Amino acid sequence: MTTATAAQETQTTYVDAISQALDEEMRRDERVFLMGEDIGAYGGAFKVTDGFFKKYGEWRVLDTPLSESGFVGAAIGAAMMGLRPVVEMQFADFISCAFDQITEVAAKNHYRWGAAVPLVIRAPFGGGVHGGPFHSECPEGWFFHSPGLKIVAPSTPYDAKGLLKAAIRDPNPVLYFEHKFLYRRIKAILPQEDYIVPLGKADVKRPGRDMSLITYGAMVHLALEAAEVLQQEGIELEVVDLRTLIPLDKETLYASVRKTSKAIILHEDNKTGGIGAEISALLTEECFDCLDGPILRIAPPDTPVPFSTPLEEFFLPKVSDIVAAARKLAAY
């Protein structure tokens, strides 16, 4: 994890890092305003905007009707007029209701007729919270295939804050996938001064010699755990955190795989047609000569995210899956 030199006294959780980024950007730029369901007096389903309503008022912390397509469309219109809306999806799963506005309007407006859409959509995604099929999804793959969108998925409080600030300052539509499993489970000391994490830059979260593990979001932490286990066996895992899915930092990926000659891709979205498939194809096209083994993918099965604890545990990738894949790949 990237740590700061000028440290605060207190540790900041992942969810507080997101709140801080919103608060600081709203203070810094009066064009920034928030829209979403229950984000006002209630402070949001996950309390990301707790206290904002009082501080900024009902027109900058705007409670919307229950209509994702309508309020994403409205955010697009406000963004085109020069404001900087940050929309909260209550759960990333509900983004499907706004799919058309995101892929057909926000993503294409600049390409078609030159209208910039500086819009951020925050989407709490991912499983491990007993949410079931409608509160656990990882829908980033749907948008990964739509030109005109940027996609971010931070794994640490530092990245969460810095990437959200960068997303708000970007003149394009950015989908910001924040992992709700991480909200209150991880903490870090953050810099006191203003900083951003630039979009489009991956981060090697743990260097290693023997194989590259490419991942993002909550899976980064699973990969770091697995790396500890594998180290005992003499296998050095390099953990590459993509941080931004679009634009993809191909240079960092290729450099890592050229160094290790082996690659595993891990994600929480289901396997078929996922981001891992695209990365695997890119590595085959660009790094084939360096590869000493097959590119492996670790991802959930092609099912909805199930509810019951044993089912969800079965569904989600585990440390043991990574260890097993790494052992298999080490044998090449």
Which listed range, 2-10, 98-106, 121-129, 271-279, lies at the site for other proteins (CB under 8 A)? Answer: 98-106
Binding to other proteins in span 294-323, by CB under 8 A = none
Q: How far is the CB of 89 from other proteins (least distance, A)?
A: 15
Cα–Cα separations (whole angstroms), residue 16 to 19, 69, 154, 320: 5, 27, 13, 31
d(C-alpha 104, C-alpha 175), whole Å: 14
Q: How far is the CB of 249 from other proteins (least distance, A)?
A: 16
- E strand spans, the chain: 12-13, 32-36, 61-63, 84-88, 120-125, 150-152, 174-179, 187-188, 203-206, 211-215, 237-241, 244-246, 263-266, 296-298
Among 46, 52, 56, 71, binds other proteins (CB under 8 A): 71
Whichever of 12 and 103 has its CB closer to other proteins, that residue is 103
Does position 117 bind other proteins by CB under 8 A?
A: yes
Does position 40 bind other proteins by CB under 8 A?
A: no
Does position 150 bind other proteins by CB under 8 A?
A: yes
List own/partner pairs for 326-332 with CB under 8 A and 24 or more apart: 326/211, 326/213, 326/226, 326/230, 326/235, 326/237, 326/264, 327/233, 327/235, 328/296, 329/211, 329/262, 329/264, 329/293, 329/294, 329/296, 330/210, 330/211, 330/235, 330/262, 332/262, 332/292, 332/293, 332/294
Q: What is the dihedral of CA 311, 315, 320, 323, to 10 degrees?
A: 170
| Cβ neighbours of 39 (radius 10 Å) | 27
Name the residue among 321, 319, 315 with its Cα closest to residue 130: 315
Among 5, 9, 10, 114, binds other proteins (CB under 8 A): 114
Which listed range, 16-24, 103-111, 131-139, 217-225, lies at the site for other proteins (CB under 8 A)? Answer: 103-111
Does position 129 bind other proteins by CB under 8 A?
A: no
Q: Which residue of the set 110, 130, 135, 267 is catalytic?
A: 135
d(C-alpha 281, C-alpha 307), whole Å: 32
Which listed range, 45-53, 82-90, 256-264, 277-285, lies at the site for other proteins (CB under 8 A)? Answer: 82-90
Does position 6 bind other proteins by CB under 8 A?
A: no
Active site residue 145: no
Does position 165 bind other proteins by CB under 8 A?
A: no
Does position 75 bind other proteins by CB under 8 A?
A: yes
Among 10, 65, 193, 232, binds other proteins (CB under 8 A): 65
Whichever of 75 and 253 has its CB closer to other proteins, that residue is 75
Q: How far is the CB of 271 from other proteins (least distance, A)?
A: 28
Residues that bind other proteins (CB under 8 A): 33, 59-60, 62, 64-65, 67, 69-83, 85, 100-101, 104-105, 109-118, 147-148, 150, 171-172
Query: Which residues have a catalytic role annotated?
Result: 135
